[in-house]
Amino acid sequence: MAILATVSYANFMIEPLLLTVAAVTVPFGLYLAFDRKKTDQRIKKRINRHERTRQALQRLSLQEDHWNPGHLRFELRQDYRSIQKLRLAGDWDALSAKVALGPIQEWRGEWERRQKIGVRWVLDPLEIVDVQPVNLQNRPGYEKDFVTVEIETRRRDYVQGPEGCFQEGSGEVGQSADHIAIELYKEYWTFNRRADGWTLVRTDRTFPESIAFVEDEEPAV
């Protein structure tokens, strides 16, 4: 009788436990499904925006030369390379002709922080893999034209100081940079058209969802 009582008590205790697990698992499963749906919606929206950008460029290039897709990609590829070179050198005066005040202030703060601890930022090698326009705005007058490009690079990104070479936050220091992997990076740079070329107005590490849809509204910068 004691054995039967023990078994019955055990079954009695297991049933609430199973109910609790079920109560937790079902909402969590619903949450995952809902989160996946939101992710899929963002991806579809982004693909649609990229396709609309491509179509807009084809149409606009018939009206204004600076929207020619080939010329635009080449020009902004060159701008990216020259801007990064000036940024690495800390040449803020030269950068002011190509970059708006906001990014310069942010980069200068990073430069001064590293300078205080005796290290310098290095990108070596820096290979530009691709530059693709992914969003744009076209309005009458150059000053209302914006374009966001997705820039993919292959690079070794690290800092160098008296103790050696390391990636910030890694804690692994070497006398050379050989222990640091060469990786693929994606960045999103937004440019504003000026009469003599494009000026960088903002940078993002992920796709800037806050920027307006293709040709609809003016981006917040």
In the predicted structure, residue 154 carries a pLDDT above the cut 50: yes
Is the pLDDT confidence value at 204 over 50?
A: yes
The structure tokens listed for 64 are 């204004």
Q: Per residue in 84-94, pLDDT tens?
A: 999 999 999 99
Every domain of the chain and the residues it spans: 43-204
Q: How many CA atoms lie within 13 A of 137 on its CB side?
A: 21
Q: Give the pLDDT of residue 27.
A: 57
| pLDDT tens figures, 77-125 | 999 999 999 999 999 999 999 999 999 999 999 999 999 999 999 999 9
Residues 5-24 pLDDT 10s: 444 444 444 455 444 444 44
User: How many CA atoms does the CB half-sphere of 79 hold within 13 Å?
Assistant: 25
**pTM for this prediction:** 0.77
Question: What is the rounded average pLDDT for all residues in the chain?
Answer: 83
State the sign of the Cα–Cα–Cα–Cα dihedral 162, 167, 172, 176. Answer: negative
Return the CATH architecture of domain 43-204: Roll (3.10)
